[in-house]
Each structure stands twice: as structure tokens, then as C-alpha cells.
Structure 1
Amino acid sequence: MLELRPNCECCNRDLPPESPDAMICTFECTFCADCVEHALGGVCPNCGGNFSPRPIRPAAALARHPAGTRRVFNPDGCQMQEASA
């Protein structure tokens, strides 16, 4: 089951479970769509993989299986796209 992390690892923007702007890689690294497009160029700075929209867990399932609360914030990783340009 996905952890549904609560924020963008790059800009620390809140990404609630119902957010259509949350993007994840295969390791569940979580970023907002703006950072994925503009800062990261579609490449995860942690694993080098690509991103997909994070699925939205239905409210009934969310009540039984709540979203994660652990925030991961690593703005230094957001420099990867700029450094390789």
C-alpha cells in the first residue's frame, strides 16, 4: 500500500492525499508536479527514475488506511537538473 507522503521533497509544498499534483517514482519519492517539471526535468533525483501521478485513495479506504505523516524535505536534491544542464 502506498504511504501517501504529505509533502513535496523539493519545495515542501503540502500534498494532501487527494492532491492531483502529487507525483511519485517507483520508490514513492514524492514531489509536486511543478517541481517534477521545472526543477527535476521529470527525473527523480534520488533514484534516477521517472514519475507518475500518485493515485488518489478513496475516502472510505483513507479512513481505514490513513495517509503517511512523515515529511521528507531535501531541497539540495532539487539542484540535480540544474547542475547537469
Structure 2
Amino acid sequence: MLELRPSCECCDADLPPDSLEAMICTFECTWCARCVEVCLARGCPNCGGDLQRRPVRPAAHLLVHPASARRVVQPGLHRA
């Protein structure tokens, strides 16, 4: 099950579980769509992998399987 991290690792923007702006790689590194385009050249800087839109977990399932509250931020990565 996906962790659904709550923020962009680049700019720390909030990415709630229902966000259509959240992008992830196969290791669940999480980025906002803006940073993927502006800062990351459409690839994950951690693993070099492809980034895809993160699926939205239906609200009813969030009650039993909540999203993560752990924020991961990489200072200095944000360029714009």
C-alpha cells in the first residue's frame, strides 16, 4: 500500500491524499507537479526513475488506511 506522503520533497508544499498534483516514483519519492516540471526535469533525483501521478486513495479507505504524516524535504533542491 502506498504511503501517501503529505508534502513535496522539493518545496514542502502540502499534498493531501486527494491531491491531483502529487507525483511519485517507484520508491514513493513524492513531488508536486510544479517541481517535477520546473526543478526536477521530469525525473526523480533520488533514483533516476520515472515520475507518475500518485493515485488518490478513496476517502472511505483513508479511515482504515490513513495517509502518512511523515514529511520528507531535501533542503537546497528547490530552484524556483
The question of a shared fold, defined as TM-score above 0.5 by the shorter chain, is answered with yes
The answer for the alignment partner of 2:37 in structure 1 is 37
Higher helix content, 1 or 2: 1
What residue identity is the alignment partner of 1:61? H
So what's the TM-score if we normalise by structure 2? 0.94
- Uncovered stretches (5+) of structure 2, i.e. residues with no partner: none
Rg: which structure is higher? Answer: 1
Hey, which bits of structure 1, 4+ residues long, moved more than 3 A?
none
Distance across 2 between alignment mates of 1:57 and 1:69: 15
Contact 1:20 1:53 in 2 (8 A): yes
Distance 1:49 1:26, change over 3 A: same
State the identity %: 63
Q: Work out the number of aligned pairs and report it.
A: 79
Contact 1:46 1:77 in 2 (8 A): no
- Uncovered stretches (5+) of structure 1, i.e. residues with no partner: 80-85
So what's the TM-score if we normalise by structure 1? 0.88
Distance 1:78 1:48, change over 3 A: farther
Q: CA RMSD in A?
A: 1.1
Residue 6 of structure 2 is aligned to residue 6 of structure 1:
yes
The answer for the alignment partner of 1:27 in structure 2 is 27
